[in-house]
Structure 1
Amino acid sequence: MLSFFRRFFQSKIGLPIFLAFLALMALAFAAADIGGNATFGGVSNSDRAAVVGGEGVPLSDVTVAANTALAQVREQDATLTMPEFIAQGGLDEVITQLIDRYTVGNYAEKYGLRAGENLVNSEILKIGAFRGLTGEFDVQAYQAALRQRGLNDAIFRRDLVDGLLEQQLLQPAVAVPQLPEKIARQYAALVLEKRKGEIALIPSTTFAPAGNPTDAQLTAWYNDNRTQFIRPERRTLRFAVFGEDQLEVNAAPTDAEIAARYKRDAAKFQASERRAVTAFVVPTQDAARALAARIRGGVSLEAAAREAGFSASPAELRDRETMAGATSFAFAEAAFKAAEGGIVDPAQGTLGWYVARIDRIERTPARTLAQATPEITEQLTTEKRSAAVADLTAEIESEIDGGTALAEVAKAYGLTVETTPALLANGQAFGQPQAQIVPQLFPVLATAFQMDESEPQLAQVGDSQEFVIFEVARIEEAAAPPIAQVREAAIAGWKRAQGATLAKAAAERIMAKARGTTTLSAAIAAENKPGIEREVIDLERRQLLARQQGNLPPPLVLMFSMAEGSVKLLEAPRNLGWYVVALEDISTSPVDSEPGLVQQTRQQLGAALSDEYRRQATAAMRTELGVTRNDNAIAALRKQLAGEQ
């Protein structure tokens, strides 16, 4: 998860290498100055999360940045809550990146770097989100995009200036450096590295007490560990789905309407003719006439073209006008005079003279009004029904905008109102994994989770003729429930926590013995406790990476970072227990046994090297300017965002 945060912040508020990223950065963070007089749980926005070179980083910046980051991460995990985001290190990453942002801006100002108004204007003009239908900069589109993020022009320009200064300062440090071959060989050798060892899990449940805690013990533990029981935000929706079939629409066309459409499209119902030809082009009229004579004498057109060094190509059926546009008017006239199977008199086109054969003629006779009536009736019915549906939905939307309640709208138009169970942002019913919501609601879920409990909204379902009216009937904020609702889970958590302490002591005893002359299996056996698991590992690093696709088990990550012959301890998450990791042997195949591996490694590590240079440059700036963190204010804000105060 933290790697996702880092990628997000580096593209939004870190150093954008390309100017196109500046808009994203500004839109994500310029809102930090909005609501400057707000307070958060007793921590006023005048308090500072940190001071960078004499300039304070407001807590309001941190709050807005954390909410923006959480919104971005929710695109991957719609049910993630702020407490979970904080517990997984998201807030710490937000603060680090904000401090870096202020550091670069202050450093640039200290040494006289500037981003003038003309430069800022030119960058705004380049941003695609601010262009209208013509592809040119549109003031209304610009203002609408800013309003959507709660910004104004001045704030947006300020953050755009910050981004431009970052680019001036740090672009030289991150400009695709070349990793030296000797270093690349060392990293390439890691890919071929093979490690053998053992991993043991000493589970907390093995050492957990059999008895239950007292109410006081359980309450105290639950209050300290409420984030483990946070329930994501839930929303209950009321909705009505309808389509053109549910609306009473008289869409049958009259005889007069049919006659008028027949008159309007008279050309469509006249007799028509289309022809398909096979042809090739030669440079002179004499050559065309000679080849046409040979073909009429019995040589096939394809053979005549091939012998003359040309290639004949067939064409689909075309009417006279279409054929003239694709070839020439003279050729189309000649082609529509020839008989089916006959050779067209040579005619000149743009590229030369055509030699052609009529392969097929399709003639469509004229249709009378009576003959065209079924087609026209179907066409007019579809048009009238679509228009009527559009009118009715416009009426419904007008009533909704006027404040009419969903129930009243549904009654007026004969619609059925339904209510969903409490839904998560991903559409799942909370506590009912098997429950299914109607598919028409999925496209509007994102909107529903941004609405207040207010008037309903009308939305079209995709490109279909189905519509849904929906409103938020109830909002249940993300929070830990009362302990009574999760008592059994809390008791199990308390037992794991108590067992984790004893499991750690057992793991330390096992580790101490394994570091001596005792094998890991013998040290485990000496504990004489059931449930301790042990697994033998014999794995290449590249096998590990390929198998797990980047989501690596922590004990394996530890094993591949340890020294040969060492034994280490690692805590499992959520008080599940402790790992004892023993590494017995490290072996590496020769790098030269894998042709191209060194070069591939240099290419793959280019981006990482750029990022490392950026980090080192920023760290040097922090050292020169001086950075002081306000840990007390950060701790208070952390509790407020997590809902603990």
Structure 2
Amino acid sequence: MLTALRRLAGTWVAKILFALLVLSFAVWGIEDVVRNIGRETAVARVGDLTVELPEAQAAARREMSRLARQLGDRFSGDENIRRAVAASAVEQLVSDRALRTEASRRGIAAPVGAVRDSVFAIPGLRGADGALSRPLLDSFLRQNELNEAQFLEIVAGDLLRQQLAGAVRAGAAGPDALSAPLLAWAMERRVADMVLVPRAAMAEPEAPTEAQLRRHQENNPARFSAPEYREAAVAILSPESIAAEIEVNDAQLEQAFEQRRAQYETPERRSLRQAVLPEEAAARALAEAWRGGADFAAIEAQATAAGGSAADLGLLDRATLPIPAIAAAAFGAAAEGVTDPLRSPFGWHVIRVDRIEPAVTRTLADVRDELRREVARDRALDMAHERANRVEDALAGGATLADVAQRFGLTLAAATFDASGRTPDNQVVELPVAPAQRNELLRAVFAARQGDAPRMTEMGDAFVGIEIRSVTPPALRPFESVEEAVRAAFLADARRRAAEERAAAMMAALRDGKTMAEAAEAAGFPVQRVGPIGRNPTAAGPAVPPEIVAPLFEARAEAPTMVETRDGFAVARLVEVLRFDPASDPLGVGRIRSEIEQSMQEELEEQFAVALRARANVRINSQLLQQVSGP
């Protein structure tokens, strides 16, 4: 048998089989490389530069978080929004690559020193001592899913953008030929005669029959129907739930305390009042009066009489005071003490110390429990995205929301409620999210479709999965349960129609040549002269309905106009147009010129960005772009 095998091994057939076997093991060893040969991995290509999928996904997540913080309850993170945000994030990365390409072509660079200075100048990264805070920087990087190198690259890109944009924006000047007419248009005023026709002044309508009320309910189903209800299961993956699983040992606590020591050290703070005067003699007289017990009202009056001013600066630390000499004097004085006058470019300063809060330094023992929670939560934030991806994979594999909640420690809740978050018995539904994300979750539930597989969606710091189990469509409520509401609505609509008819009759009379006084007398309402009023409806005054302002500025002289207001209807006739002479307000012309220049600069910068993109040979991978909006 062995002899036969040796003879077989020497044949060309056996050699081919052995070669195939070796090749198979080699391919298994480099499976990922072989599988990706010829496969596109970049979401976008900008010339020789690429935007890879992980970078695009991280940028999209950052933008979603920014929008959620900025808009709060108004933000909806449904699938359409996520796709739009993903496309916008990729476009921003493409613009960044195009800008870097142009900067390289022109030999423009961001020196390391300039990047460092820019980072140190970011106010949100400074500690209580005014210096760059490493814990604040680490927290910022963690919240935005950035490492230090990526952050520095973003700062360098901003510097390049400032250099290129500054060159593009330079030289844009607002022409007087445009500035003066715009100021004249903005400052134009108008005078009109106006008659108000309030709904409340209309006669009591005839009592409706039951048939009329039933027909009114049927014709206005949105006003008298039960809302759509949805039975939904909601699973929440939150940092708080993950943090409960994390153990933080003493060594990790000590390390975190050293990194965050600045936030546990509160510097001495003082409640200060200050007077600034133009002359030293007046400042010395004021200081003596202050030391003699003069109250602050008297000090304010004395400072004003001497051509200066006085102000309550509030509670400040030493680093907050911008002039070192004044800071030294203010923090060298005793409580309730008054400093001697000190000179600065602003004049002579006299400062009174009302109250002193001593510096406070908390030790590790003082903050151990608080710090342990913070460290656990920070680590939980890092773990949340990774676990959300595992949950998403399990859901894609056919697992139910209940299954993944049990496997991965998600909080699961199920309830039936309407879009406002109320149950059929009008109780507020309990939802397992933070109050800031409640409205966002409600919108997501009512944007989801029944039958769709649940997906994990980021909401604030948490990830949420939604499963729609049933949908009860809106339906007319029983007439008996809403009869009184229908009656009130019917009568209100009748009064509105009566007011509209009265106002329309006035408009017809005015068009037939009658004066405003004659038309108003026939309608039974007084005429009032309003104006001069400007184009801003909110500045027209309480006597002028804001709805009438725009029509008056669109009307021709002596032309009548009619609008519906919050309380009824308004009929007005333009009496006079007061033109504005821009030559009488050179400062106003200058202000308009500056606004025009700003708009021109922004438009030039936008056109420059479009031109760079067109030149950069941009190619977007639409298939990979669809993956950017995923968790």
**TM class by shorter-chain length?**
0.3 to 0.5
**TM-score normalised to structure 2 length:** 0.39
**TM-score normalised to structure 1 length:** 0.38
